[in-house]
Amino acid sequence: MAYIDPNAVRTVTSIGGGPIGGGWAAHFLARGYDVVAYLHDQNEEESYRSIVDTAWKSLTDLGVAEGTSLERLTLTFNLKNAVKDTDFIQESAPERLEIKQALYKELGDIVPAHVVIGSSTSGLTMSDIQAKCSTPKRCIIAHPFNPPYLLPLVELVGGKLSDPSAVTWAEDFYTLAGKSPLVMKKEIPGFVATRLQEALWREALHMVANGEATPADIDNALMNGPAPRMVAQGQCMAFHVACGEGGMATNLDQFGPALKLPWTRLEAPELTQELRDRMVDGCNDMAGQERFEDMAARRDRQIVAVLRALRDTN
Amino acid sequence: MAYIDPNAVRTVTSIGGGPIGGGWAAHFLARGYDVVAYLHDQNEEESYRSIVDTAWKSLTDLGVAEGTSLERLTLTFNLKNAVKDTDFIQESAPERLEIKQALYKELGDIVPAHVVIGSSTSGLTMSDIQAKCSTPKRCIIAHPFNPPYLLPLVELVGGKLSDPSAVTWAEDFYTLAGKSPLVMKKEIPGFVATRLQEALWREALHMVANGEATPADIDNALMNGPAPRMVAQGQCMAFHVACGEGGMATNLDQFGPALKLPWTRLEAPELTQELRDRMVDGCNDMAGQERFEDMAARRDRQIVAVLRALRDTN
């Protein structure tokens, strides 16, 4: 299937009247697209406009594309009108399989097969969602993080019937549209970011259940501990750089045995040579030619900037 | 035991020649204390000075106390000199129990019992560390997050022989010294922040081991997904506010069943009424009288500030 040139996308359809659908609409507007929003229910219009208005404030603070405005948002309650002449569909309908399946069945029949459809679902798989769609190849997962108009991540993966080139197309399109796409290797429940967040969340619930911490302790620990560093470095590079010249290899060789310690209820994987190599090679690839001291200095400059920004905003 | 008035602390001793000891020394210097650094080995001096110099750049960017300077740092290789006339000891010796036990045995005899000693250990318990100390009551865990001169968190907990008032004293002292103390309810392995980070880290290793993600995917997911929000809101308040008026109660009632889904290898705790209430009450306490829309707007302002700060620093 030859999809449209990602550079040629002009009109994006955002399906869904909730915070995710509204957040996506605001994001695409800010990036200069014409946006057609489909709402299922006329009663959703007021809250939807409020979601978009709120998002717009932050987006204008960050800087929006030239010539764009909220005027370029069209609301409709008619699905056929919503997808007429669209170049891309971002679907954020309710998280119920029967709703999504019925929607994709209809979209599959009324939307030309060269238009990619990305689903914002966080809990369903595309293999299930696309099961009743007559044109399933162009249907993929495009999962944002809330709020979608601010957090850059969008996780991309196809289902059993998806065309891999639809995922590649989406990677190009979202990059042009100012997002940070992550193309997943496999269709796994929770994708990557939500799995990581969920591991953390379950451990937090265990601690609260056992009287080891309160919700305020959990939030204090995260906000004042790993978070200001995590915006500058993910966990892999944080450990890589913290170990200096030895990097991730030192981390795993030295702290590998600590994986056996009961530092969370999550069992650690076996630290095989293969896993070790994947971690070390992955970090070395990310580091490229940058020196350890320069990576550490950049991390510190970014944390300082973040701490100052938070202080000035509070 | 009557400890010194936390406001009256003038001299802090930082034990340990590595990045944590050096980072702590820089932090206390920046806050206007006189700092005496004890290094075990003369060969550590050059790298130690470099650690402190590097930290100092960031600290001066953030703003240091009036009248402070690197001149107020004294280096010594003599433990007795290092603790003479000190008001507080931050211990960041190597993470080996026999080293820490021998050190606390000696400190216990030569340091007046009204001087609190906080250990930076991340992997040992104070109950073990203080076992051979003759004056164990004032010995507590005071665990920072790396880099300790930038990340505000310090986790406090006593061991079996510790005096609870030493922990209370440390909470006051670290607050005055510009840190965000977290007083733990129990002495659990990994404390709070490291347990959360470790849950996330183990799930990341599982994904890499299974070929579901690369280290670059993990870091992309964290940096562009939860991280920019996590500096503004911990995970509890992030879910609380994302659910609008219903807050955490809606989150748990609606997404509780999702805890049974295989969204990480970490088994979820049973979502009992008691756990539900602790989570809901904890979030309501944190929210206080602030309205949901105001909390969401504040979150967005902070994320915008963080994204701008990162953009301007890259």
Residue-wise pLDDT tens digits, A173-220: 999 999 999 999 889 888 999 999 999 999 999 999 989 999 999 999
CB contact under 8 A, B222 and A213: no
DSSP state of B77: S
pLDDT of residue B82: 98
Give the span between the Cα atoms of B172 and B181, in whole angstroms.
Answer: 9
Domain presence at residue B205: no
- Look at residue A291 and tell me whether its pLDDT is greater than 90: no
Poorest-confidence range of A27-31, A77-81, A95-99, A306-310?
Answer: A306-310
Q: Give B243 or B56, the one with higher predicted confidence.
A: B56
Chain B residues touching A192 at Cβ < 8 A: 207, 212-213, 217-218, 221
Reported ipTM exceeds the 0.95 cut: no
Cβ atoms B127, B3 nearer than 8 A: no
Helix (H) or strand (E) holding B88: strand B88-91
In terms of domains, do B51 and B151 share one? yes
Poorest-confidence range of A247-251, B172-176, B212-216, B256-260?
Answer: B256-260
Mean pLDDT of chain B: 92
Chain B residues touching A209 at Cβ < 8 A: 269-270, 272, 274-275, 278
Of B130, B165, B183, the residue that ends a domain is B183
Cβ atoms B52, B73 nearer than 8 A: yes
- Look at residue A314 and tell me whether its pLDDT is greater than 70: no
Residue of chain A with shortest Cα separation from B313: A302
Q: Per the structure, how many domains does chain B have?
A: 2
Give the span between the Cα atoms of B289 and B36, in whole angstroms.
Answer: 45
Chain B residues touching A54 at Cβ < 8 A: 293, 296-297, 300
In terms of domains, do B246 and B174 share one? no
In terms of domains, do B176 and B266 share one? no
In terms of domains, do A158 and A276 share one? no
Domain presence at residue A65: yes
Angle between helical axes of B235-242 and A215-224 (0-180°, round to 10): 110
Domain presence at residue A217: no
Q: How confident is the model at residue B1 (pLDDT cuts 50, 70, 90)?
A: low
- For range B75-87, the mean pLDDT: 97
Residue-wise pLDDT tens digits, B123-158: 899 999 999 999 999 999 999 998 999 999 999 999
Cβ atoms A109, A134 nearer than 8 A: yes
In terms of domains, do B21 and B163 share one? yes
CB contact under 8 A, A190 and B264: yes
Q: How confident is the model at residue B271 (pLDDT cuts 50, 70, 90)?
A: confident
Among candidate residues A103, A265, A122, the one with its CA nearest the CA of residue A192: A122
Domain that holds residue B306: 225-313
Q: Which two tokens stand for residue A147?
A: 């709020």
Chain A residues touching B150 at Cβ < 8 A: 228-229, 300, 303-304, 307
Helix (H) or strand (E) holding B75: strand B73-76
Buried b (16+ CB within 10 A) or exposed e, B2-18: ebbebeebebbbbbbbb
Residue of chain A with shortest Cα separation from B53: A297
Domain with B95 in it: what CATH number? 3.40.50.720
CA B207 to chain A, closest CA, distance in angstroms equals: 8
CA B81 to chain A, closest CA, distance in angstroms equals: 31
Q: What are the φ and ψ backbone dihedral angles of A188, each rounded to 5 degrees?
A: -115, 145
Pairing of strands A11-15, B34-38: unpaired
Domain presence at residue A273: yes
CB contact under 8 A, B310 and A232: yes
Cβ atoms B120, B94 nearer than 8 A: no
Pairing of strands B139-144, B73-76: unpaired
Of A183, A212, A246, the residue that ends a domain is A183
In terms of domains, do B111 and B168 share one? yes
Q: Is the peptide bond before A147 cis (omega within 30 degrees of 0)?
A: yes
Helix (H) or strand (E) holding A310: helix A292-313
pLDDT of residue A14: 98
In terms of domains, do B248 and B156 share one? no
CA A215 to chain B, closest CA, distance in angstroms equals: 5
CA atoms within 13 A on the CB side of B158: 17
User: How wide is the angle at C-alpha A195 spanned by C-alphas B186 and A279, nearest 5°?
Assistant: 90
Residue of chain B with shortest Cα separation from A20: B242
Residue-wise pLDDT tens digits, A163-184: 999 999 999 999 999 999 999 9
CA B22 to chain A, closest CA, distance in angstroms equals: 14
When scoring B231, B260, B292 by the number of chain A Cβ atoms within 10 A, the one with the most, hence best to mutate, is B231
Residue of chain A with shortest Cα separation from B306: A306
pLDDT of residue A172: 98
Poorest-confidence range of A93-102, A263-272, B83-92, B270-279?
Answer: A263-272
